[in-house]
Amino acid sequence: MAKETIAGLAQRLGISKASVSYALNGQPGVSELTRRRVLDLADELGWYPSSSARALSRSRAGAVGMVLSADPLLIGTEPYYMGLLTGIETALAEGDTALMLRMVGKDPEQERATYERWAGERKVDGVILFDHRHDDPRPALLERLRLPFVLHGAPATEGAAPRSGTTTDHALDAATIVDHLHRAGHRRIAHISGPRSFLHEEARIEGVQDRAGRHGMSVTRYEADYSLDSGRDAALALLRAGEGITALVFGNDLMSMGGLLAMRAIGLRCPDDVALVSWDDSLHCELASPSVTALARNPGLQGRVAAELLLRLLDTGAVQTARMPAGDLIARSSTGALP
């Protein structure tokens, strides 16, 4: 049973290997009767075609890759990635495609080496890219390697060469957050972003700036690195500066938690003294006390869509872009909403 092959099936049924193959793959070239007999026998024997033989003859691996390149500590605690991963895997499974997962450190060289190798070994048919940066070397690398890819979560860029990927309207999300704070009466806010080298962070920074400007609010910018500690440090620096900031917007949930710790440390109350918004929802935001107002972005859905785009790209070569829905602001105590 574990050693059954297409030749074995053909022999048992008294037909040729080709017929078995056609039957299995839903190709024309076999009578319905034969097809049924093949399928039934395969089922009965619990037989599946060898993935490596199939991959070799089709020159298609039947798998796509995903490199998580971040501080391992961050990956483990960052719920956004897990949500994304779940969505991606689910969609891939439905498309009979396996997910190859690689976790590397922050060293970009390792990510590069992984793609180089995957392409060379023809181990994956395509990859999903995150955290698109300015002058990101990866798209050009993947093109050189002829490894199809989708770009996840970048801001829509007009005029650029069309690429497969999901785009997020970060300006819209920024407006949602800023409006919420404006409505609550805040006029001096701070925006603690992740690294500006990420295109999505730049889009968010501009979005916040623009919208706040329209409301006549002032924004102090601070660049951090998504870690809890960097969020805490940012909050300490901003709140001690005495600029009269009354609300902090953090680029992710971990930094928001750091912000809460900072406030507690210097004796400021949230939201009475300073309000707080997280640009990513998670259980952390829900459980914190006070609970933290957050923009829910539905990472599961995003992952699913990204994976579907990649599958379509591989199947049909269709290059398309999917706009992600706007984030939902979940109002909680940290901006004065009822608990």
Contacting positions for DNA (CB under 7 A): 3-7, 14-19, 21-22, 24-25, 27-32, 34, 49-50, 53-54, 56-59
Question: Which residue, 37 or 191, has its beta carbon nearer to DNA?
Answer: 37
> Least distance (Å) from DNA to the CB of residue 297?
39
Per partner kind, with CB cut-offs from 5 to 8 A, the member of its own copies, DNA, none near residue 162 is none
CB count, 10 Å around CB of 170? 25
Taking CB under 8 A as the rule, which mask of x and - marks residues 276-305 in contact with its own copies? ------xxx--xxx----------x-----
Q: Look-up: residue for tokens 């040729």?
A: 16
> Least distance (Å) from its own copies to the CB of residue 33?
24
> Least distance (Å) from its own copies to the CB of residue 252?
13
Q: If you ran DSSP here, which 8-state letter would residue 279 be given?
A: S
Instruction: Round to whole Å and give the CA distance between 269 and 263.
Output: 7
Identify any residues that bridge with 277 across adjacent strands, giving them in sequence order: 249, 293
Task: Of 187, 220, 183, give the one whose Cα is nearest residue 205.
Answer: 220
- Interface residue with its own copies among 20, 23, 24, 83 (CB under 8 A) is 83
Task: Of 33, 97, 104, give the one whose Cα is nearest residue 19.
Answer: 33
Query: Residue 208 is inside which H or E element, if any?
Result: helix 199-215
Q: Which stretch binds its own copies (CB under 8 A): 27-35, 70-78, 175-183, 197-205?
A: 70-78
Structural contact between residues 245 and 271, judged by C-beta atoms closer than 8 angstroms: no
Question: Which residue, 66 or 309, has its beta carbon nearer to its own copies?
Answer: 66
> Least distance (Å) from DNA to the CB of residue 111?
23
- Interface residue with its own copies among 103, 172, 301, 319 (CB under 8 A) is 103
> Least distance (Å) from DNA to the CB of residue 46?
12
Q: If you ran DSSP here, which 8-state letter would residue 95 be given?
A: T
Written as six digits, the tokens of 103 are 């976790």
Written as six digits, the tokens of 295 are 């923009």
Question: One-letter amino acid identity for 322?
Answer: A
Written as six digits, the tokens of 43 are 């089922």
Q: Look-up: residue for tokens 């048992």?
A: 12
Instruction: Round to whole Å and give the CA distance between 126 and 150.
Output: 8
Question: Which residue, 52 or 157, has its beta carbon nearer to DNA?
Answer: 52
Per partner kind, with CB cut-offs from 5 to 8 A, the member of DNA, its own copies, none near residue 16 is DNA
CB count, 10 Å around CB of 259? 33
Q: Does 89 bind its own copies (CB under 8 A)?
A: yes
**Site residues for its own copies per CB under 8 A:** 2, 46-56, 61, 63, 72, 75-77, 79, 82-83, 85-86, 89-90, 93, 98-104, 116-117, 119-123, 145-146, 228, 254, 257, 260-261, 282-284, 287-289, 300
